[in-house]
Structure 1
Amino acid sequence: MGKIVGAIVVNEERCKGCSLCVVACPKDVIALTDRKVNVNGYPFAIAARPDECIGCTACGIVCPDGCITVYRKKLE
């Protein structure tokens, strides 16, 4: 059985920085920016440790605005 790796893409302009995804991530992949804000003035979520993502989709499920898209790939 192959290993599953994941990747997330955050719609930075829609993100309100609620940090629900940060709490939901079991691998601590996601963090809020501390130096940038989007056009609405919110710090947004980023993949701070993208190599650790397992593609579990927990972040995408809890995001109230649907800002996170999760991709999964099976490695042979």
Structure 2
Amino acid sequence: MAKARLTIELCKGCRLCVGNCPKQAIIPLEQVNKKGYEIITVDEELCIGCGMCYKVCPDYVFTIE
């Protein structure tokens, strides 16, 4: 089954993906990437690979594999 993968270094913490995930599989973290932006993670157990995160992300953080 397809799953969302992300590149943490590209994330700018806009969290559009968090609000658009139908399974709440994208979780904001209290960590920052190298650029100082708050980051997110994907719960692979919950992810259904629908691609909503990929569609709404303005920074091309996600790939669906």
Q: Give a deviation string over 1:16-59, Cα, whole Å, max 9, x none.
A: 0100000110000001111x210111111211x21111111000
Moved over 4 A (4+): none
Report what 2:38 is aligned to. Answer: 43
Q: 1:27 and 2:46 equivalent?
A: no
TM-score by length of structure 1 reads 0.78
Q: Tell me how many residue pairs correspond in the alignment.
A: 65
Q: Shift of residue 70 of structure 1?
A: 1.3
Q: Shift of residue 6 of structure 1?
A: 3.1
Report the RMSD for the aligned CA atoms in angstroms.
1.0
Q: Which structure is larger by alpha-carbon Rg, 1 or 2?
A: 1
| Structure-2 change in CA distance of 1:6 and 1:53 (3 Å) | farther
Paired letter, 1:68: F
Identity of aligned residues (%): 40
Paired letter, 1:42: Y
TM-score by length of structure 2 reads 0.90
Gaps of 5+ in 1: 72-76
Output the CA distance in 2 between the equivalents of 1:7 and 1:42. Answer: 24
Paired letter, 1:6: A
